[in-house]
């Protein structure tokens, strides 16, 4: 009796891994372009991974696990256990932060007050202090 091939080696396995990748990306509120930017590829390539047209290689699986804050097993469909919070801020957040820094100081302070207000309302403790005003 022959051994059944590994699901990772089959077309169905690649599609299942692609669905996991798409689910994790959406849970992280990232676009395919955001993921592509983080891993140094094109959006079309991320799309091909998600539909199972391309297979993920080991180094890329590790990068994606770090990006999404999950184990490599979860990407491969072997477990649904989160191992840690995502380690890097999302590219979308980083783009917004760069734009935020271009705002006048008064506008930055207004945005920070709004963020503080939302965090306080959600019961999340503020970790950073506001910079002192220049005189």
This prediction has a pTM of 0.55
Provide the 8-state DSSP code for 7: G
CA 55, CA 131: separation in Å to the nearest integer? 47
Q: Which CATH number does the domain housing residue 57 bear?
A: 1.10.260.40
Statement to judge: residues 24 and 71 lie in one domain:
yes
Shared domain check, 117 and 71 = no
Q: What is the pLDDT of residue 103?
A: 92
Same domain, 69 and 115: no
Q: Give the residue numbers spanning the domain of 126.
A: 103-135
67 plus 108 within the same structural domain: no
Which pLDDT score is estimated for 111? 92
- The residue assigned the tokens 């932060």 is 97
- pLDDT category, 53, cuts 50, 70, 90? very high
Among the residue ranges 11-15, 75-79, 118-122, 127-131, the one predicted with the least confidence is: 127-131
């Amino acid at each position: 009796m022959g051994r059944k091939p590994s699901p990772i080696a089959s077309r169905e396995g690649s599609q299942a891994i692609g669905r996991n990748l798409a689910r994790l990306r959406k849970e992280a509120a990232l676009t395919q372009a955001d993921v592509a930017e983080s891993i140094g590829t094109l959006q079309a390539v991320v799309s091909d991974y998600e539909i199972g047209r391309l297979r993920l290689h080991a180094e890329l699986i590790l990068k994606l696990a770090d990006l999404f804050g999950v184990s490599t097993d979860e990407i491969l469909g072997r477990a649904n256990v989160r191992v840690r919070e995502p380690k890097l801020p999302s590219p979308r957040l980083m783009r917004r932060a760069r734009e935020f820094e271009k705002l006048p100081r008064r506008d930055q302070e207004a945005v920070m007050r709004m963020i503080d207000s939302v965090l306080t309302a959600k019961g999340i403790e503020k970790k950073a202090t506001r910079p002192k005003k220049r005189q």
